[in-house]
Amino acid sequence: MSKITEIVPYELAGMRLDQVLAELFSDYSNPLDIVFEDDSLLIVNKPAGLVVHPAVGNWHGTLLNALLNHDANLETLPRAGIVHRIDKETSGLLMIAKTLQAHNSLTQQLQEREITREYLAITRGRMTAGGTVDEPIGRHPTDRKRYTVRESGKFAVTHYRVVQRFSHYTLVQLKLETGRTHQIRVHMAHIRYPLLGDPVYGGRFQMTPNCKPELEKELRSFKRQALHAAKLGLIHPVTEEYLEWEQPLPDDMVRLIDALSANEQ
């Protein structure tokens, strides 16, 4: 059996490759939340719940579909110009190259760790101080959908600092030196401060002492990991100017932080 028939939905099996691609990359009507765009770059604010690339179970309605609907020329670039990605349930800033020159430049900047990527997250547990997690990350030995800290993994470094403490949670700012899959989620779980709303890495909802009804309501309704890509900085591939963007927290995280603050009173 060919690889294409192994990965596409059953109803697409047997179709010509061009027909399959047309179906997989069909128009996605939801507009992009564009933060910046010129002839070389596109910076978007990805909402939580939006998958970046089509894959098994998510062939339609992905960010890649939306990008191709926005600019059909992106079809000529690797992964439609997407040079990095954030998890489905993570919100925030994502960069897309619009030309091969920009794609090569941004890829090189990522490899040389010249891209600024900062996140805001809410962790379970009250942190006393910030720090750095310098631990290699690799696939979990028994669960292939998860990653874990392991000696045979890839080099990974995450810096974190406390922004605001609550009785049983902490709002933290995180800065990536590397960009491994699930890096922040794995590193925070490793130091026993898993991200709130992340059952895969130990952040499943739990009732805490002195939790008022308003906070309990927000916690129970929060259905994703509390992680937001808040800042992105890079060197423009053409002008070589350093550019930086910041994206405020989405409403669901703002409501949660407000409820956590009110619960302290």
Active site residues: 87
Phi-psi bin for 75: left (phi > 0), alpha (psi -120 to 50), beta?
A: alpha
Q: Can you say how many angstroms the Cα of residue 11 is from the centroid of all Cα atoms in its chain? A: 30
Measured distance CA(200)–CA(223) in Å, rounded:
12
Task: Note whether 24 and 59 are within 8 A (CB).
Answer: yes
Q: Which of 90, 258, 228, 91 is nearest to 166 (CA)?
A: 258
Beta bridge partners of 95: 43
Residues with Cβ within 8 Å of residue 185, at least 6 apart in sequence = 87, 194, 195, 198, 200, 201, 225, 227
